[in-house]
Amino acid sequence: MGRVIAIINQKGGVGKTTTTISLGAALAEKGMYTLLIDSDPQGALSIGLGLPAYDLEFTLHSILTDTRIPIAAVTHHVRPHLDIIPSNIDLAGAELQLVGMMGREFVMRDALANIRDKYNFVLIDCPPSLGLLTVNALVAADEILVPLQCEFLAMRGLDALIDVIARVQRRLNPNLKMLGIVPTMYNPRRTHARQVLDKVRASYPNKLLNVEIKESVRFAEAPQQHRTIFEIDKTNEGAEAYRKLAEVIINVEQPERQSQATTS
Ligand SMILES: Nc1ncnc2c1ncn2[C@@H]1O[C@H](COP(=O)(O)OP(=O)(O)O)[C@@H](O)[C@H]1O
Ligand SMILES: [Mg+2]
């Protein structure tokens, strides 16, 4: 059964989308069938991989709001072993539409129920908020990966995030596991970046993954060219770091999982 991982942090600009694309590409490179889900109305994930997100008729929004739309209509095969369900600004309306639905927190989980088994990994790129779309991602997911920018301000939101995760675990998805926190935009020459990591390590023991994603201008260049970091510079340090992250994640031992019942 495929592992569904929500890539989440309510702060914008911390490396969620970059991590979703780069980790997805690294998993695909290792032969893992991977589906990326763009759950941010800004559509940066979709555009970064070269899809004309704003011209698409069928997107994630379609399958969340209309159960008759087949998942094949919204799934794009973009690279070997790598598929994506894109989004665009239409998704901004989904949050409001979801509010009125029965079982509103379970809509994404149900929409994905029939395809997760086709993949080894499903990565959900969350929007920068803790709203209903993010809660849907947390309910649909088995695991959470938190990209954390290595600066003091970034730490502030971490407690609020951990709190929401705990509430979802208690009430909606008891099987949800914290895969870990991955430091992004890390510059080891900056004392304060090292201090942030020490603090996270002390506050959340065993949660900080042993892979740092260093700061590199290549990460900003790649999506502008609609390419992954591996396609612009295969041996780049950043590419290597995401390969290592993929390996760490593949090797996390999995508990026996029961098949999920759907609410629809
Ligand atoms: N390791 C990194 N080093 C340098 N810049 C990065 C790195 N990771 C991401 N970026 C850049 O930082 C910006 C925000 O990253 P992004 O992945 O879009 O964050 P989010 O999805 O959390 O909003 C983008 O311009 C991206 O190219
Ligand atoms: Mg993003």
Domain-embedded: residue 67: yes
Domain-embedded: residue 195: yes
Give the total number of structural domains in the chain.
Answer: 1
Distance CA 47, CA 63 (A): 19
pLDDT at 264: 44
Atom of ligand 1 nearest to the CA of 220: 27
Domain-embedded: residue 259: no
Q: What string of pLDDT tens digits covers the 264 residues of the chain?
A: 799 999 999 999 999 999 999 999 999 999 999 999 999 999 999 999 999 999 999 999 999 999 999 999 999 999 999 999 999 999 999 888 999 999 999 999 999 998 999 999 999 999 999 999 999 999 999 999 999 998 888 778 898 899 999 999 999 999 999 999 999 999 999 999 999 999 999 998 899 999 999 999 999 999 999 999 999 998 999 999 999 999 999 999 887 765 554 444
DSSP letters along 30-86, please? TT--EEEEE-STT-HHHHHTT--GGG-SS-HHHHHH-TTS-GGGT-EEEETTEEEE-
Give the number of the ligand closest to the Cα of residue 223. Answer: 1
Report how far ligand 2's centroid is from the alpha carbon of 128 (Å).
Answer: 7
Q: Which domain holds residue 188?
A: 3-250
Give yes or no for a contact between 154 and 69, defined as CB atoms under 8 angstroms apart: no
Q: Which residues surround ligand 2, an ion (CB under 5 A)?
A: 16-17, 44
Domain-embedded: residue 258: no
Domain-embedded: residue 264: no
Angle between the N-to-C axes of helices 152-171 and 191-203, in degrees from 0 to 180, rounded to the nearest 10:
20
Distances 11 to 148, 149, 167, 218, 236 between C-alpha atoms, Å: 9, 9, 19, 22, 27
Give the number of the ligand closest to the Cα of residue 225. Answer: 1
Q: Which protein residue has the closest C-alpha to ligand 1 atom 16?
A: 15
Report how far ligand 2's centroid is from the alpha carbon of 125 (Å).
Answer: 7
Q: What is the CATH number of the domain that holds 226?
A: 3.40.50.300
Domain-embedded: residue 255: no
